[in-house]
Amino acid sequence: MPRLYMETFGCQMNVLDSELVLSQLRAHGYQQVNDRDEADVVLYNTCSVREHAEQKVWSRLGELRASKRGNPNLIIGVIGCMAEREGKSIFQRYPHVDILCGPGELDKLPSMVHNAVLTSSSIANRKSQIANRRQVALMGATTRRSSTLSAAEDHLELLDLSRSVSPGDDISQAYVRITRGCNKFCTYCVVPYTRGPEVHRPPQNIIDEVKMLTDHGAREVTLLGQTVNHYAYQHPDGHTTTFADLLYQVHQAIPHLPRLRFVTSFPRDFTNEALQAMRDCERICRYLHVPAQSASDRILKLMNRGYTSQAYRDFIDRAKDLMPDISIASDFIVGFPTETEEDHKSTLDLIRYCGFKNSFIFKYSPRPGTVAIDRFEDDVDEDTKRRRNNEMLAVQQQVSTEHNSRLIGQTVEVMVEGESKLISRQKRSNNVELGWDRTIAVAEIVQTQLVGRTRGDQVVCFDGDASLKGQILRVKITRAQNLTLFGQLTALAIAPPLAV
């Protein structure tokens, strides 16, 4: 049984892709291992959004050069956005790579891995034939031509439909794709090129998948799309299922799912109907991740975001009017070309005005193939980017602390995700032996620190037993930091996990 090691970089979409690919490969007889040195096949599911994410993969590939020398039968695959973006140039830089597979071709990956493994054992170490085992599946530029599009869609749909749950899989929190690709073409972003055009999945397939996962123990399902709220499925008879329709339908069709979420939203596409669906459906979490990127109209225009700062504020007002308890997170790019102090200050004002739960702040990274790298010079120097980044973080921290402090004394609903890594690590370094560390005999059972999230996506830590993972509990908040709330368990299981 070939052993497979896989590492995933990047967004939730990649996490889901890896899960689907792993489940297919397991069905083909591959055994997943956690130690790269034990593997016969090493796969990296990669991200190209920022240069830093790509550098990590380059360095992993560099490390594998020696492993391949020691074991010429080792199969190395680069899959996901970086494979699509870099293409065959990866072979030139790292000739020991065997497989390249873009995110739009992942349905082909199991047979590609299989072919590479078979060829590898038959040609052994003959250098001249190494190229024979190379397997490549990339969309290339052709995918934006629609004649090939529908065929590609059907294949990819099969990958999502093939999803199965094996005993022992932890699916208490699960992702379900509703849309692939992106049509927005923000000038800084590689995603429309690596993931291709926007394609919406049929609503029935989505409902069936959410139901199957819930029947097998999922307590929280997150619907995924690059611009998730732009979902609109056109049926063969011409009628359209909108994002609001889909939310109502999923909510109604799966009454035993305690939590339904969705990410990532695009500000301009939010209809009142979709906000009303959130308000009306009690099990839809009142959480929005809706990146603003900047609050300067000039920069927003250069980014091709298609909205003004005021339109963004109006949207936030609309959401808060309908749902005063809504929790909102944003993304920002700091140091976009030509960004001035004034532009930057307007972004700080927006963070204060919207009172984001948190913001993901990224320094602008020019990406090959995008419009921005061709048209605009990366003229904000690194020191300025870093300073503005820190200023934004400081304002966001202040806002988050205020936001979180308001919860002190309240009882919130928390879904337990597991043990708090921070606390567990501290306990380990203090040489306390914990029950979950099976390699060590248990000297003393310590009350573990658990971590979970509220419906608004706030992180909550509290003492409790590790067996509570996956359950939805009531926790009284006693203390607040900018990123974390601390509390005490007040009641056991509002919704116990189902037996798989």
Residue ranges binding ligand 5AD (CB under 6 A): 49-50, 188-189, 291, 293, 331, 333, 362, 364-365, 367
Q: What is the distance between the alpha carbons of residues 357 and 305, in angstroms, rounded to a whole number?
A: 22
The binder of 362, among ligand SF4, ligand 5AD, none, by C-beta within 5 to 8 A per type, is ligand 5AD
**Closest to 190 (Cα-Cα) out of 52, 298, 82:** 82
Name the packing angle between helices 146-161 and 12-27 (round to 10°).
Answer: 70
**227 makes contact with ligand SF4 (CB under 6 A):** yes
**Closest to 287 (Cα-Cα) out of 255, 259, 317, 245:** 259
The 8-class DSSP code of residue 143 comes to: G
Q: Write out the two tokens for 255.
A: 């009454």
The number of beta carbons lying within 10 Å of the beta carbon of residue 341 is 9
**Which lies closer to ligand SF4 via its Cβ, residue 182 or residue 459?**
182
Rounded to a whole number of angstroms, the minimum distance from the CB of residue 20 to ligand 5AD is 21
**Which lies closer to ligand SF4 via its Cβ, residue 281 or residue 373?**
373
Q: Write out the two tokens for 489.
A: 């368990």
Rounded to a whole number of angstroms, the minimum distance from the CB of residue 50 to ligand 5AD is 5
Rounded to a whole number of angstroms, the minimum distance from the CB of residue 360 to ligand SF4 is 12
**Which lies closer to ligand SF4 via its Cβ, residue 287 or residue 332?**
332
**Which lies closer to ligand SF4 via its Cβ, residue 64 or residue 182?**
182
Q: Write out the two tokens for 373.
A: 């790298």
**Which lies closer to ligand SF4 via its Cβ, residue 191 or residue 461?**
191
Rounded to a whole number of angstroms, the minimum distance from the CB of residue 365 to ligand 5AD is 4
**Which lies closer to ligand 5AD via its Cβ, residue 134 or residue 268?**
268
The binder of 266, among ligand 5AD, ligand SF4, none, by C-beta within 5 to 8 A per type, is ligand SF4
In the stretch 255-284, what mask flags binding to ligand SF4 with x, by CB under 6 A?
-----------x------------------
Rounded to a whole number of angstroms, the minimum distance from the CB of residue 290 to ligand SF4 is 11
Rounded to 5 degrees, what are φ and ψ at 406?
-60, -20
User: Residues 258, 222: contact at Cβ < 8 Å?
Assistant: no
CB hemisphere CA count around 212 (13 angstroms): 15
The binder of 143, among ligand SF4, ligand 5AD, none, by C-beta within 5 to 8 A per type, is none
Cross-strand partners of 334: 363
Q: What is the distance between the alpha carbons of residues 91 and 133, in angstroms, rounded to a whole number?
A: 12
Q: What is the distance between the alpha carbons of residues 434 and 446, in angstroms, rounded to a whole number?
A: 7
Rounded to a whole number of angstroms, the minimum distance from the CB of residue 110 to ligand SF4 is 27
SS3 178: coil
The binder of 199, among ligand 5AD, ligand SF4, none, by C-beta within 5 to 8 A per type, is none
Q: Give the Å distances, CA to CA, from 126 to 73, 119, 123, 131, 288.
A: 11, 11, 6, 10, 54
Pairing, β 259-263 against β 220-224: parallel
In the stretch 169-208, what mask flags binding to ligand SF4 with x, by CB under 6 A?
-------------x-xxx--x-xx----------------
The binder of 333, among ligand 5AD, ligand SF4, none, by C-beta within 5 to 8 A per type, is ligand 5AD
The number of beta carbons lying within 10 Å of the beta carbon of residue 439 is 5
The binder of 367, among ligand SF4, ligand 5AD, none, by C-beta within 5 to 8 A per type, is ligand 5AD
Q: Write out the two tokens for 318.
A: 């609309």
Q: How many residues bind ligand SF4 (CB under 6 A)?
A: 10
Rounded to a whole number of angstroms, the minimum distance from the CB of residue 361 to ligand SF4 is 14
Residues of the shown chain interacting with ligand SF4 in the complex, contacts defined by CB under 6 A: 182, 184-186, 189, 191-192, 226-227, 266
